[in-house]
Structure 1
Amino acid sequence: MEEQVVLVDEKDNAIGLMPKMEAHEKAVLHRAFSVFIFNSKGELMLQQRAAHKYHSPLLWTNTCCSHQRDGECNIEAGKRRLQEEMGFVTEIKEVFSFIYKAPFDNGLTEHELDHVMVGYYDEKPEINKDEVQDYKWMTLADVKSDIKKNPQRYTEWFKIIFDKSYEKLVHA
């Protein structure tokens, strides 16, 4: 069965479920999360999406992101996806949430109430090659500079989140 996303209103009240692809085809607002993992040097772990992803293949993005399952809290969802994609779990905390809308060339649209979470980890991840092509650590200043020079290397949602949350991430 296709993964279901939790449909929400602007106040994050659940109002139903919908298959993930249908929600992205219809641009329906749904709950999502984005995890940003930092090391003790203050560098952000970025992931490069796997080549076979249905959108944004091989683009760089935050450590991991996905959708909460029905009845799953934000922190549980973030930890689950960290394990599934990056092969580790660490403590994370939610720092803020916001709504964004990002259309893609393939006709799909991300329209999400995104819960942004932050955690810390200093080890090497065990990436899941079905989900992640590669990873790297970068300072926030270097990420900001590279997005400005090479925006085509990054996912649309990461550029939106990074722009909206740069100051919050620096002080997280």
Structure 2
Amino acid sequence: MTSSKDEKLILVDEHDQPIGTGSKLSVHQDGLLHRAFSIFIFNGKGQLMLQRRALGKYHSGGLWTNTCCGHPRPDETVLGAAHRRLQEEMGFDCALHEAGTLTYRAEVSQGLIEHEFDHVFVGRFDGQVHPDPDEALDWQWVDLDTLHTALMTQPDTFTVWFKTIVEQPGGNLRNLKALALKLHTE
């Protein structure tokens, strides 16, 4: 079985056009631009599901972040990969809608660099959650006012990509929440 660190990532140019592949660990060691996704799931009360990354993750272990994130494999679509990882990490699946993209580059723990062309998805879910303990140490629903306070007073408890996404003009959590809630009523 292939280790998570050996998994192949899709290298892309600044327009998200594939230019090759690389192993997950080497791509993050070298800070190469690669395709990724981040998922934000809201419940019917408008609360965001946060995940606390498992301590055994190869970077950013123990930090709070968005519901789920990951990388598509060379043979799958971004949306297909998002559904796969949501099921693998959090133990459920739901309808997802792409809310936009962004590119960022940031140093993370263990001397690694996240340099991602990130596809941001939103969804709504009110059912049972069954996270994989190797992926998520903990999870919680949080209202946006409480989250905003935590981001201001305890920024080091959150992943760098989560803070980057929510600071983007289109990544405003209230905008993502409105989109997620609207999708459920259509």
> What range describes the TM-score normalised by the shorter chain of this pair?
over 0.9
- Hey, what does 1:116 align to over in structure 2? 120
**Aligned-residue offset at 1:74:** 1.5
Pair 1:39-2:46 in alignment: no
User: Could you tell me which of 127, 137, 143 is aligned with 1:133?
Assistant: 137
- Hey, what does 2:9 align to over in structure 1? 5
Counterpart secondary structure, 1:106: helix
- Hey, what does 1:171 align to over in structure 2? 178
Does structure 1 retain, via aligned residues, the 8 Å contact 2:42–2:177?
no
Does structure 1 retain, via aligned residues, the 8 Å contact 2:60–2:109?
no
Pair 1:156-2:156 in alignment: no
1:72-108 deviations in whole A, cap 9, x for unaligned? 1111111100000000010101010010011124211
Counterpart secondary structure, 1:171: helix
**Aligned-residue offset at 1:168:** 3.2
- Hey, what does 1:101 align to over in structure 2? 105
Flag structure 2 segments of 5+ consecutive residues without an equivalent.
180-186
1:3-36 deviations in whole A, cap 9, x for unaligned? 0100000111001000011100100000000000
Counterpart secondary structure, 2:176: helix
- Hey, what does 2:70 align to over in structure 1? 66
Counterpart secondary structure, 2:116: strand
Give RMSD over aligned pairs.
Answer: 1.1
Does structure 2 retain, via aligned residues, the 8 Å contact 1:5–1:17?
yes
TM-score if structure 1 supplies the norm length? Answer: 0.96
Q: Which moved more, 1:38-47 or 1:133-142?
A: 133-142
Does structure 2 retain, via aligned residues, the 8 Å contact 1:32–1:68?
yes
The separation in 2 between residues aligned to 1:163 and 1:143, in whole angstroms, is 13
- Hey, what does 2:29 align to over in structure 1? 25
Pair 1:83-2:87 in alignment: yes
Does structure 2 retain, via aligned residues, the 8 Å contact 1:6–1:16?
yes
The separation in 2 between residues aligned to 1:153 and 1:105, in whole angstroms, is 13
The separation in 2 between residues aligned to 1:72 and 1:142, in whole angstroms, is 36
What letter corresponds to residue 87 of structure 2 in structure 1?
A: Q
The separation in 1 between residues aligned to 2:86 and 2:26, in whole angstroms, is 25
Structure with the larger helix share = 2
Percent identity over the alignment is 45
The separation in 1 between residues aligned to 2:109 and 2:45, in whole angstroms, is 37
Counterpart secondary structure, 1:83: helix
What letter corresponds to residue 77 of structure 1 in structure 2?
A: A
The separation in 2 between residues aligned to 1:69 and 1:43, in whole angstroms, is 30
**Aligned-residue offset at 1:141:** 2.5
